[in-house]
Amino acid sequence: MATSGTADFNPAFDDLIEEAYERCGQQSRSGYDMRSARRSLDFLFAEWANRGLNLWTIEQRSVPMLPGIHEYTLPTDTVNVISAVIRTGTGQLQQDITIDRISQNEYLHLPDKNTPARPAQYFVQRTAPAKLFVYPAPDAVQAYTFRYYAIRRIQDAGAYTNTADLSFRFLPCLVAGLAYYLSLKRAPDRTAVLKQIYEEEFARAASEDRDTASVFLTPDLGY
């Protein structure tokens, strides 16, 4: 028996919305129905940002450091910074040096934030947009670059012909979540069942959305 030979199933938002409405026992019959669903999609994406790491939204980014400047504004789609280094040099002389993240309270109590040296600590103020503070302030001895992995926001739904900014593994979860959100407005009698399906779909997808590198634990036998 022949197979399709393709593995690129990725329906546009209008198809996803129709599927979600059908799970509510309804059909989208007007432009307002579509706009309502698109609005629910964007709320759903915002909710996913509160559920933890979404690996497909992790990107490596950089901030060139300027001498004497300890405060920098990060891109507006930044949700959080999960790890970072200070990069010095280029080519064979390039080095990535560990930099430690500190809390807002720890940064506040640093006595001299303008001390010039290689930055060794950083604090992320999670405002909109997020701001980065480094300590000490970069000196002028050499060029420093703050290299980091950021969690970015999932892109907005936008046009109905767009596809979702997510891994294909989350498509069942996306439809289940949208159906649950729509049921709150259109089919309250199905809300409990659709919420349970959504939570099960998210749990399955999230359990697979993880780093599969090996982890080695070594006991500390010292005193």
194 and 179 part of one domain: yes
DSSP string, 54-86: -GGGEEEEEEE--TT--EEEPPTTEEEEEEEEE
Residues 104, 59, single domain; the answer is yes
Per residue in 72-127, pLDDT (tens digit) is 999 999 999 999 999 999 888 899 999 999 999 999 999 998 889 999 999 999 99
**What is the total count of domains within the chain?**
2
Residues 59, 114 within the same domain: yes
Do 89 and 164 fall within a single domain? no
In a domain, 107, yes or no: yes
Write down the pLDDT at residue 1: 77
**pTM value?**
0.84
The answer to whether the CB of 88 falls within 8 A of the CB of 73 is no
Long-range contacts for 96-101 (Cβ within 8 Å, ≥24 apart)? 96/147, 99/134, 99/146
Domain carrying residue 102: 55-152
Last residue of a domain, one of 152, 171, 198: 152
212 pLDDT above the threshold of 70 = no
- The residue-averaged pLDDT of 63-77 equals 96
Decide if 218 is inside a domain: no
Domain annotation covers residue 219: no
Interval 27-45 mean pLDDT: 95
Q: What is the pLDDT of residues 140-160, one digit of tens each?
A: 999 999 999 999 999 999 999
Give the per-residue pLDDT at 200. 97
Query: Is pLDDT above 70 for 223?
Result: no
Question: What pLDDT is attached to residue 126?
Answer: 95
104 located within any domain: yes
Task: Tell whether 96 is covered by a domain.
Answer: yes
pLDDT for res 165 = 95
Kindly report, residue by residue over 162-205, the tens digit of the pLDDT: 999 999 999 999 999 999 999 999 999 999 999 999 999 999 99
Same structural domain, 139 and 62: yes
